[in-house]
Amino acid sequence: MSSPIWHPFTQHGLNEPIPLVDRAEGAALYTADGRRIIDAISSWWVTTHGHGHPRIMAAIAEQAHKLDQIIFAGWTHQPAEDLARALIDLTPEALTHVFFSDSGSTSVEVALKMALGFWRNRDEPRHRIVVMEGSYHGDTIGGMSVGARGAFNRAYAPLLFDVDCLPFPDSGSEQLCLDAFEVLCRAPERPAALILEPLVLGAGGMRMYAPWVLTELRALCERHGVLLIADEVMTGWGRTGTLFACEQAGIVPDILCLSKGLTGGSLPLAVTLARAPIFEAHLSDDRSKLFFHSSSYTANPIACAAANANLAVWREEPVMERIEGLVRKQAERLAALSGIVNARQAGTITAFELERSGSDYLSTLGPRLLAFFRERDILLRPLGNTVYVMPPYCIEDRDLDRVYGAIADAIVEIG
């Protein structure tokens, strides 16, 4: 009997098998038919410490017996209060306010609305949003609007708003990006905000750029009074080798989007952190200036409890040591591969393209690679012909060897 489920980013017309996962532990998934699958992409970049971390699981169970859900408009609860304060302590001092939502896409949607509301409530409305070529910021309407146009959103083009796009700062051509942004900043209608993925474009093909470019873009924002939104939904929580990617550029954004690893990957939750002036632009005795955004499950208590446990893991366990070890191990294994081009690494993330291929997301090579890895009990999900490895920080050497062994075999048999 076929399943009635319509899966995300899945072409059901290809009739590809969809494994039924029964449980997970550490860096492994276990299917109902007894297979052990190595989770080499952290279940879509969310699982940081590994599946089923005991401390996070215990916090979820404990909170579930206290308070499962409550409206967050005009009400509050201790897990959210604790989490907000912990995030303020963890992130740069300039970020003073925390707005909760449910996913990376909604954290971006919140950020865009904050930026536009900031300018409108100051009676100097600005509407232009600047983005980086090849970006991906989610699948809500705002998120798609500030993402790259193409296969992801072609069918929904009538719903999307226009943006200004900067050329990607490839090595050797970074100045083109900076010059293009300065031209936009000097235009009569100045931008409201620049939104970017710091250092690494995720779904855009794991493209990477130098930290100094981010430093210079931040400086231009400050010089011209443009808000900077950092989408660290994927790059946050240690993925690039530091807690947040912005640290490597020595910058603090005006608005910071976090999700995925916020709960260690256990439950959906997101936050958008903002500087005080952005909050204060919405602070008024005029109710029409309040921030009009919410969802039914904003700051769900159980998800907040999971996030609090995750932050405790970061504080009390040697997470950065694990990350440093994984960075080194990833580098060693990437260097040993042959028959690839554009090998690159940012922290715990490695990526490359196959030698003879282009870089199209809809490349026919993508499904063949996906099937190849699935048949070898490896969860890798290539972005077209771009193969990347982003495992949980707990992955063992033998499993990492299996992952790169499967990649080496794929290069020979498919590439």
The pLDDT value given to residue 367: 86
Enter the tokens of residue 133.
């070529």
> Could you read off the pLDDT of 331-355 as tens digits, one per residue?
999 999 999 999 999 999 999 998 6
Mean pLDDT calculated for residue range 378-390: 94
Residues 87, 145, single domain; the answer is yes
Assess contact for 232 and 196: CB atoms under 8 A.
Answer: no
Q: What's the pLDDT band for 380 if we cut at 50, 70, 90?
A: very high
Q: Give the CATH number, domain containing residue 86.
A: 3.40.640.10
Enter the tokens of residue 22.
């029964």
Q: Give the CATH number, domain containing residue 399.
A: 3.90.1150.10
- Which of 295, 316, 337 represents a domain boundary (last residue)? 316
pTM: 0.96
* Residue 7 in domain: no
Domain with 408, as residue range(s), is 12-53+318-413
- Which of 316, 351, 370 represents a domain boundary (last residue)? 316
**What is the C-alpha to C-alpha distance for residues 209 and 200, in angstroms, rounded to an integer?**
7
* Residue 280 in domain: yes
Enter the tokens of residue 1.
């009997």
Q: How many domains does the chain have?
A: 2
* Residue 2 in domain: no
Q: What's the pLDDT band for 5 if we cut at 50, 70, 90?
A: very high
Percent of the chain scoring above 70 in pLDDT: 98
Assess contact for 98 and 111: CB atoms under 8 A.
Answer: no
> Could you read off the pLDDT of 287-333 as tens digits, one per residue?
888 999 999 999 999 999 999 999 999 999 999 999 999 999 999 99
Residues 165, 63, single domain; the answer is yes
Residues 185, 36, single domain; the answer is no
> Could you read off the pLDDT of 356-370 as tens digits, one per residue?
655 566 677 888 899
The pLDDT value given to residue 361: 65
- Which of 288, 316, 344 represents a domain boundary (last residue)? 316
Average pLDDT over all residues of the chain: 95
The DSSP string of 327-362 is HHHHHHHHHT--SEEEEEEETTEEEEEETT----TT
The pLDDT value given to residue 11: 87
Residues 145, 263, single domain; the answer is yes
* Residue 1 in domain: no
* Residue 239 in domain: yes
Q: What is the widest separation between alpha-carbon atoms in the chain? A: 67
Residues 119, 199, single domain; the answer is yes
Residues 22, 99, single domain; the answer is no
Residues 80, 140, single domain; the answer is yes
- Which residues 6+ apart lie within 8 Å of 51 measured at CB? 24, 25, 26, 27, 28, 29, 39, 43, 265, 392
Mean pLDDT calculated for residue range 122-151: 93
The pLDDT value given to residue 362: 67
